[in-house]
Amino acid sequence: MTDISRLQKTFTEKYGGEATAGFFSPGRINLIGEHTDYNGGFVFPCAISFGNYCMIRKNDDGKIRLKSMNMPFEAELDLSELNQKVDQEWVNYVIGVFAQFLKKGIRFNHGIDMLFYGDVPAGAGLSSSAAIEVVTAVALNDTYQTGFDAPSLALMSQKAEHEFAGVQCGIMDQFASAMAKKDHAVFLNCDSLAFEQVPLRLDGYKILISNTNSPHKLDSGLYNQRVSECGNALQILRQSVDISNLAQLGNTEFESLQHTITDPVIRRRAKHVVTETERTKKAVNYLREGNLRAFGELMKASHLSLKHDYEVTGHELDTMFEEALKIEGVLGSRMTGGGFGGCTVSIVASDAVDDFIGNVGSGYLRKTGLEPSFYVAETSDGGKRIF
């Protein structure tokens, strides 16, 4: 937990008085169910103890002042400028959330001073962008007593990323950041938003996050390209079957229809979505049964599908995956997040964690020239007021 007194000190130095409230929203890891969310499939994320903090205080001069302890750029905006993008990326995540409140008919009659601090490793694929969006939404909802529930705040945060960051993300990251529960993972149907909090019973095992320190960047265009490719596959398949998203197809039905997709790349993208949706449903059932070994095997299959069919892994993530599987006591491992760099997540026997960090770290460094970072995942509740 970040030292709140340090954030208060910085807030006071910047704005000349203490914040009147503070908020936190977590990042997330996704245990299985990758690139299925924007295809109407199932995901299985849990929130982690890393996230974004927001310190806040109203002011009387009609200005929105934004400062981050992680980024050098600061912004001061008039209330009339809350629908306009700026040149600095992190500020757009915040302004985008303000814009969603305006679309809902909320009018801000006071200025506001805001200080942000994130302890999610930047570029690690642990959803720092969703965490800053959700903590902004939670802070505004509380400060202005607008009365939106947590799913609504998640959807507004997703819209902010679409419209102000230009990433056509699914709902998983924002939903996990807003709705998560400590010691649980969220089994979410991204089509209906029906969800279940599933207890994480990992007796004798830990969830280990391995950061490749090869940062991903979803707005590089590759993520949006995958969204478009899946859209193309859906349009072709809908000529043969009445579906509204790819995840509605089962494996057998897809196998009977895949020949209609003549482009082999588009066919592989659709195959990943269909098979990953099936893997996710099976994995959750295995967890309920306490069958961690079977859960781990599905994690491995997920990574290989993301490598060969969806092509979002790359040398660093594949190396981390391969080195992890050499360690006795590892039940499963896979990339987590959007890909193109970032992190893997592994289920590791508690007494093998030190061996994992030492040997996977040295093997990865030798093969990539990059120094990795490792974190034992501690779960967290979703976005909330902390004082």
Residues with catalytic roles: 173
Least Cα distance to 207 among 296, 119, 285 occurs for: 296
Contact 383, 26 (CB under 8 A): yes
* Distance spanning both ends of the chain, measured CA to CA: 14
CA–CA gap between residue 24 and residue 50 (Å, rounded): 9
Q: To which residue do tokens 């040295």 refer?
A: 362
- Alpha-helical (H) ranges within the chain are 4-15, 89-103, 128-143, 150-160, 172-179, 222-237, 251-257, 264-289, 292-308, 315-324, 353-368
Residue 142, phi then psi, degrees to nearest 5: -75, -45
Residue burial 373-387, b: 16+ Cβ < 10 Å; e: rest: ebbebbbbbbbeeee
Question: Edge to edge, what strands does the sheet with 184-189 contain?
Answer: 42-43, 184-189, 195-199
Q: Which two tokens stand for residue 47?
A: 């929130």
Bridge-based pairing of strands 63-68 and 111-118 is parallel
Q: Which two tokens stand for residue 370?
A: 């990059």
Ramachandran class of 11: left when φ > 0, alpha when ψ lies in -120 to 50, beta otherwise: alpha
